Amino acid sequence: MTRTILYTVATGLSAALLFVIEPLAAKRFLPLLGGSPSVWTTCQLFFQAALTVGYLLAHGAIRLGSRAAAAGQTVLFAVVGGLLILGGSIVDETPTGAPTIWLLTRLTRDVGPVFLVLSMTAPALQALYVAGRSASAAQVDRDQSGDPYWLYAASNAGALAGLLAYPFVIEPILALDDQRRFWRLGWMICGVLVAACVAESLWTRRGVDVTISTRDCSRRVAIAPRAWLKWAALAAAPSSLMLGLTTLVTTDVASTPLFWVVPLAIYLITMIAAFAHRVVVPRGWAGRVSPWLLAALTPALGFGMTQGYWLPLHLAAFAAAALACHERLSASRPDPGGLTLFYVAIAIGGAAGGVFNSLVAPAVFDRIAEYPAALVCCVVLASGARPRGSDFVLPAVVLALGGMSALWPELADSPLGYVALAGGCGVLALQLKMLPKRPNRAVLGLAAGMAACGLWPGVGGRVILRERDFFGVVRVSDSERAGPAGVVRSRLFFSGGTLHGTQSLDPSLRGEPLTYYRRAGPVGQVVELALPRRGVETRVAVVGLGAGTLASYARSDEHWSFFEIDPSVTQIALNPALFTYMSDAQARGVDLSVIHGDARLSLRSCATAAFGLIVLDAFSSDAVPTHLLTREAFAEYRRVLRPGGVAVFNITNRYIDLVPVVAALASDADWTSRAWFDLDLSPAERLDGEQPSIWAVVVADPADLGTLARDPRLLRTTSSPHDLWSDGSSNLARHLTVRSPRSRLEALRADAK
């Protein structure tokens, strides 16, 4: 029993350390790449590739002998641990070249050695456990605890514990540097435990002539290529699905460890359930449920329903599909002699999913199409369907309709197109009815329906342009809406699923700022009434370019600097064939400049007291990059803001209440913060393209607000020390909210009284 506990703790701790360092490293690199959701996806690609290399090295070492492999593992712990302790912390530097290549290079240099050693630990310990289980092959065969696969479940349980501990325990309590110090302590403890396992094995087997049993991991077992490919495919599909869902969530909510961890935790839970000795979920249940969830999710994706309140459906479909694949993976596992090859296949499959999502999908797809594609693959692989020729007829028709919608988006965005989409959902319902009798045809029909919805242009008007890069998906669409005065024609700019800019296609109205930047709104009032000394000395910094709407406020002889990290956004805003806010401002004589790169890094090169107004309007879809709302970021804003200047922050968000965060940051910097909820828009204003928003206005002295200081719409804000974010500590979970902006406003008014 003591032996079992020793191996369980050593395996679990190594896995926990492995999965704690993943969000720890990704969070460290996140500010250097603008808070992009692709940071986590790229980190996962690296971690999966390193895991594959680690399993391959463990496989080769175990062939030399289980005890030799584990002993070598102990030496590696000592050597790499020494380098880890002597090495310095990760320092900030400006990324150069392609962001993906830069990030992979930095991860290889800073995290690669420790991750590689940890990834080798679980296979080495499992092989050592089997080799030292008994001196009698017959006894090993009688004792089912000699099966090492339960240690795989223990490894996943340790990984899950470490993963969940990070956003809920480690991140809220410890600063980033403290996290690294405690992680090093865990590394040393794990090294001692691995050495104890080796010592135990040598002690219990001294002088014993051990016959290699059929369960010995060092015994060669022939693995058919077909079986190996099956394992890799069953591992690749859930891996890709997990990364696709993570990209979807972090794009529309926030790119932060909390939302990185949830899909990965569900992925690990399905692994634990599939490989556990005791049945946790009835076998086959996930395979029967996943087609139904896929059918429910298909129209949601087709109609563009990807907002946060649809998240439970996405998570349920992901959990069922991943569990169904992992159950088939567990059922096909080989004898322990093929254990390391089995793990190598799983690791290569996981890495293949990472390569597809991080490298292939952004280059091939102009939207997050890898998510529905992975859902389809999971359901098809889990069903084990072997369709006949006639089973492909209906799916081919459904795919053809989806292709037509992509070629003729005008049809898809018309009432006829939505009727066709609703009819397609009815066909999916018929497919589900056929599921018990014709599972092959039903599964293929569901897969085709999901693929067709992936081709659907989506809501938001006729698509003019859609692009995707490391920083996300941007889209430009034309919209026509009937109003009392006639048809209102507008051009819309989307980042992810969130509207970020609108310009009227009426030539007489094209200079009017719309969406969140309307003249009667917070930013319009601040620019017109609170910005002091407008004229030739006025310099304005705008963090986040969008469609360039704020340039409509610029006057001749003023200098406006726009800081933008996404090259695709810059190309769209500066293209007068798409939006004319920037070109019109230049025609008026405004001195405009667009500075590429992360705003915090770029502001370092700006002179002290350079700007009279700072507007923070940086978003990735609906998410504000957290590194722009930290104590260190505010110190930079204060340095470049002139005395008497004003800072305005767009903190509009459906899921995160950022009002207390900005209030805490302002108080920490000895500033004053006011919140402005611009929610009361008339139907006519909404029809024209104006949108409700939430802004924070920050000044050193309320008198700097001019006449706005007495405006009742500017509400005083309160905060606590727990609301203060820094680069090393930001508790996002504290600020998640299900309250509507209206209810948040009423609560703030009540506090003010």
pLDDT tens-place string over residues 366-424: 778 788 888 878 877 877 666 666 666 666 766 666 666 555 555 555 565 556 656 66
How far is residue 538's CA from residue 559's CA, in Å, rounded to a whole number?
6
How far is residue 629's CA from residue 315's CA, in Å, rounded to a whole number?
29
Q: What percent of the chain has pLDDT over 90?
A: 15
3-state secondary structure (DSSP) of residue 749: helix
207: left (phi over 0), alpha (psi -120 to 50) or beta: left
Query: Pick from 130, 69, 215, 176: which is nearest to 727 by CA?
Result: 176
Residue 560 scores a pLDDT above 90: yes
Q: What percent of the chain has pLDDT over 70?
A: 74
**Relative orientation angle of helices 112-131 and 176-204, to the nearest 10 degrees:** 30
The pLDDT value given to residue 732: 76
The pLDDT value given to residue 298: 72
The pLDDT value given to residue 140: 39
Are 354 and 44 contacting, i.e. CB atoms less than 8 angstroms apart? Answer: yes
The pLDDT value given to residue 210: 39
Are 430 and 397 contacting, i.e. CB atoms less than 8 angstroms apart? Answer: no
Q: What number of helices (H) and strands (E) belong to the chain? A: 28, 12
625: left (phi over 0), alpha (psi -120 to 50) or beta: beta
The pLDDT value given to residue 367: 77
What is the per-residue pLDDT across 590-604, written as a single tens digit (0 to 9) for each?
A: 999 999 888 888 898
The CA angle 369-370-371, to the nearest 5 degrees, is 90
Residue 89 scores a pLDDT above 50: no
Q: How far apart are the first and last CA of the chain?
A: 64
Query: How much is the average pLDDT of 160-188?
Result: 85
SS (H, E, C) 630-662: CHHHHHHHHHHEEEEEEEEEECCCCCECCHHHH
The pLDDT value given to residue 139: 40
Amino acid at 581: Y
Selected residue with higher pLDDT from 324 and 388: 324
Residue 91 scores a pLDDT above 60: no
Selected residue with higher pLDDT from 633 and 445: 633
Selected residue with higher pLDDT from 711 and 299: 711
Residue 555 scores a pLDDT above 90: no
Query: How much is the average pLDDT of 633-642?
Result: 92
- Range in 23-37, 44-58, 331-345, 659-673 the model is least confident about: 331-345
Tokens of 494: 């989307």
Query: Pick from 38, 147, 52: which is nearest to 100 by CA?
Result: 38
Cβ-based neighbours of 93, under 8 Å, separated by 6 or more? 32
Residue 567 scores a pLDDT above 70: yes
- Kindly report the average pLDDT of the chain as a whole number: 78
Residue 348 scores a pLDDT above 60: yes
Residue 69 scores a pLDDT above 50: yes
The pLDDT value given to residue 49: 87
Query: How much is the average pLDDT of 125-146?
Result: 52
The pLDDT value given to residue 676: 93
Q: 């808070």: which residue's tokens?
A: 35
Residue 215 scores a pLDDT above 50: no
Query: How much is the average pLDDT of 217-239?
Result: 77
Q: Which residues pair with 539 in a beta bridge?
A: 559
The CA angle 139-228-294, to the nearest 5 degrees, is 110
Residue 532: band (very low, low, confident or very high) from pLDDT cuts 50, 70, 90: low
365: left (phi over 0), alpha (psi -120 to 50) or beta: beta
Instruction: Please give the sequence-ordered ranges of beta strands (E in DSSP) within 446-497, or none if there are none.
Output: 462-469, 472-483, 486-495
Max avg pLDDT among 223-237, 563-577, 609-623: 563-577
The model's pTM is 0.78
- Range in 88-92, 122-126, 174-178, 512-516 the model is least confident about: 88-92
